[in-house]
A and B are shown apart, each in its own frame.
Chain A
Amino acid sequence: MSDPGRAHHDMGGLPAGPVESSEHDYALWEKRVDALLVLLSDKKRGLIRVDELRRGIEQLGAKAYDEMSYYERWIASITSNLLEKGVITSDELGHKMAEIEARAREAS
């Protein structure tokens, strides 16, 4: 039963499958995302708080929230928070992403 007052992430008490308890290794990019958040939120920079990270994740939309992996949700939220604050611009980010894609193409 869908409840219009329920935010998608607020799923406590809803039917769910078993909890997958197997361990898995983190990919390098996942460790980098974790490190990025630590650096952005340290005392020196103070650019993002855990509450802001969480808010960005909650704003992803139901489909993205369900389909993205844990650290994909983190980097999506970190990105939107840094754009909101003007730490990075869409223009800078777009060009950097294109540059890295080109580098990856050359390497393959």
Chain B
Amino acid sequence: MARFSPGDPVQVQDIRPPGHIRTPLYVRGKTGTIERICGLFANPEELAFGRDGLPLRPLYRVQFEQAELWPDYDGPAGDAVEVEIFEHWLEPAGRNAP
């Protein structure tokens, strides 16, 4: 059901649609790693406009290295941030890329 598994490298789509978007701008186009599958949820981009948000979509917790997100990051290597992102925002990256 879920396209990705924990440990898979993924890239967030670098698109900027209007509407109610829960994928923060600072992770768009960035590469991270699937940390876990959170479950299946209705799509908030549709729920926000009064529709049912179906079919349910996989939501992932994706881990990003801080240095990947902020070019001037000067904290310890290995510092990370985790963001919950819906599957339709993610593409395979690294060795999984087509």
Contact = CB atoms under 8 A, between A and B. Distances in A.
Given A5-B16, A7-B18, 9 more contacts: A5-B25, A10-B25, A13-B70, A49-B48, A49-B50, A52-B48, A52-B50, A55-B48, A84-B50
- By secondary structure, the B interface counts as loop
Contact of B24 (A3, A12, A54): A12
Contacts, number: 39
Interface in B1-43: 16, 18-21, 24-26
Interface of A: 3, 5-7, 10, 12-13, 49, 51-52, 54-55, 58, 84-85
A22 B22 CA distance: 28
B25 A51 contact: no
B67 interface: no
Contacts of B92: none
